[in-house]
Amino acid sequence: MPVYGKRNSPRKPVYPKHTATIFRPELESKTRPRTTRIFSGRQWSLVSSSLARISQTFGFDLVKAIRVRVQKSEKPVIVDYGCGKGTAITELAQAFPNARCFGFSEEFYDEWKENRNVEFVHESSFDFPRLFGKKKIDYAYSHYGLSKSSNIPFDVKRLLPKMKIGGKIVFNSSDLELLHDLRKIPGIQVKIVNYSKKRVIKEFHIPDSFCYVITRIE
C-alpha cells in the first residue's frame, strides 16, 4: 500500500474554530446587487432592445449598415438571431418594407402575435437555419442572442451557407479569443469593429462585449 508523507510526523488536521454566525442585515442589504443580469439562469431579462440600443452596442448605425448591404438586393432577407420580443426587427421591417424580416428565439413571446410585418420563428439556433435555402440571407445580426452559446464558431458555420456572398453576420460577445477561432473558418472575413463597456440601463446589468462583423466572401 503506498504511503505518502513523513511517517514519523503525521500531520494533525487543523479544524477551524467554531464561531457563531453573525447576521448583519444592514451590510447584506448594502451589498445586494441592484441590477438584473441579462440571463438570470432561468430566463432572459433583456428582451426588447430597440435599434438605437443595439446600434449603441455595435458602435454603428444598424439601419445605415443594412441599407448599404441590401440596396442592390431584389428580395432582401434580414434575420434577428435571438430576437427576444422582436422590438428591433419590427423597427427594421418598417425601415425596409420590401425586405423579408425574420426573428427567431427559443423562447416564445406574446408580442409576436400582434406583429404582421415580421416572421417570428419559435425555434432553437440548431434548427432555425433549415428554414432557408442556400445563399438567401443578406444580413443576420444578434444582440446578446449568442450569450449562452458554448460554441459560436459552430453557430457561424451552420449559418454561413445560408448567407449571400457579401452577406453579413454581426453579433456581440465578451469573448475576444473568439477572433482567433473565427479566422480559421474559410470563405469569410472577420473584423472586430467596436468594444462596448459594461453598463447599467434601467435595472439591467449589460456585460461588456466586442462587436464582430463577419462577411461571407466566397
Q: Is 38 in the site for ligand SAM (CB under 6 A)?
A: yes
Q: Is 141 in the site for ligand SAM (CB under 6 A)?
A: no
Among residues 36, 37, 48, 56, the one that binds ligand SAM under rule CB under 6 A:
48
Cβ closest to ligand SAM, residue 96 vs residue 120: 120
Q: Is 144 in the site for ligand SAM (CB under 6 A)?
A: yes
Q: Is 75 in the site for ligand SAM (CB under 6 A)?
A: no
Cβ closest to ligand SAM, residue 106 vs residue 181: 106
Among residues 148, 180, 191, 199, the one that binds ligand SAM under rule CB under 6 A:
148
Mark the segment that binds ligand SAM (CB under 6 A) among 144-152, 167-175, 182-190, 206-214: 144-152
Q: Is 122 in the site for ligand SAM (CB under 6 A)?
A: no
Build a one-symbol-per-residue string for 82-101: x at contacts with ligand SAM by CB under 6 A, - elsewhere. xxx-----------------
HEC sequence for the chain: CCCCCCCCCCCCCCCCCCCCCCCCHHHHHHHCCCCEECECCCCECCCCCCHHHHHHHHCCCHHHHHHHHHCCCCCCEEEEECCCCCHHHHHHHHHCCCCEEEEEECCCCHHHHHCCCEEEEECCCCCHHHHCCCCCEEEEEECCCCCCCCCHHHHHHHHHHHEEEEEEEEEEECCCCHHHHHCCCCCEEEEEEEEECCEEECCEEECCEEEEEEEECC
Which residues make up the interface to ligand SAM (CB under 6 A)? Answer: 38, 44, 46-49, 82-84, 105-107, 124-125, 143-145, 147-148
